[in-house]
Structure 1
Amino acid sequence: MIPPSPAARWHPDTTVAAIVVRDGRLLVVEERVGDALVLNQPAGHLEAGESLLQAVCRETLEETGWEIEPVAFVGAYQWAVPDDGREFLRMAFAARPLRHDPERRLDAPVERALWLSPQALAAEAARHRSPLVWRVVADWLAGQRFPLSAVQRL
């Protein structure tokens, strides 16, 4: 069998996202994409050499100033951007907030972090960065949780 050419290989962007809840509200980020301010979970790309759990903690801290403790794996989500076909593989985790550093500078393009009720987030569907934002929350609201042991780094 002839291996596929390098051009034929598929390489989705691997990302992590955190569902962080405090007093019934979800931690979200408002970030600038082009001229629009969109809403997203604290989320970002997996970096070389880090585990998925390390990545979700790092991204949440960088984008919100919150240190978190992951408590469950919510799910893996695959999505292709309709305009350009770019594909994402998102690993979503439920986490609890530990500490906040209000002086921490947030990573661009994040403008601010805020806490929204699930209803308020749903009402802003037109501003969600992607369909992944609500799908992950909907699964979490439905009680979808897997043990962290379901995610391994060997």
Structure 2
Amino acid sequence: MTQCDNSTNDVWRPRVTVACVVSDGDRYLMVEEEVNGRLAYNQPAGHLDDKESLHQAAVRETREETGWTVELTHLIGVHQWRSSEHGEVIVRFTFAAKPLHHDLEQQLDTGVRRALWLTRREIADLGERLRSPMVLMTIDDWLGGQRLPLSIVGNLMPNGGNP
């Protein structure tokens, strides 16, 4: 039997990320960002921080990247993908959310040029400029009726994941 020493850095770990599909009628909240010297389009998304629940991370990332406060409504899905940007495996939890309030004074995250609302057709037309294939896939999952209860994502962190 082999023991795993978690104190070493040679244990493989995927990057855990969150994203939100935020819809307003037939439009979806998107982020235009600079990635490795090119413009890319993504849903509001980012990495899970230590001592943070997945739910909290999704709401935080949306606010930081777009200025929108949102309320999560469902889990759309969990997807695994090897990034073409850096070659690492991403495990992405994608939530559906409804927009509540937009703060026009919110400074957006570094690298984010702007937040914008686009239709599914406009998003599909971006083609290779989409940050990952998960962008359009999760919108299509949402449109296809894929909605899991938020309670499916358990949180056993002390204080609900609050730092």
The TM-score, its normalising length taken from structure 2, stands at 0.90
| Partner residue, 1:3 | 3
Deviations 1:21-79 (A, max 9, x none): 01210000000012211000000000011111100000000000000000000000100
* Residue of structure 2 equivalent to 1:144: 146
Counterpart code for 2:99 = P
Separation of aligned partners in 2, 1:69 and 1:102: 18
Tell me whether 1:134 sits opposite 2:136 in the alignment. Answer: yes
Partner of 1:89: 91
AA in 2 matched with 1:110: V
| Higher mean displacement: 75-84 or 136-145 | 75-84
Letter in 2 for 1:20: V
SS in 1 for 2:105: coil
Per mean C-alpha deviation after superposition, the further-off stretch among 32-41 and 134-143 is 134-143
Identity %: 47
The residue that corresponds to 2:21 in the other structure is 19
Give the alignment's Cα RMSD to 1 decimal.
1.4
Deviation >6 Å, runs of 4+: none
Q: Structure 1 residue 132: deviation in Å? A: 1.4
Partner of 1:91: helix, strand, or coil? strand
**What TM-score, normalized to structure 1?**
0.95
Q: Distance in 1 between matches of 2:89 and 2:2?
A: 25
Can you give the 5+ residue segments of structure 1 that lack an aligned partner in the other structure? none
* CA distance in structure 2 between the partners assigned to 1:118 and 1:131 by the alignment: 14
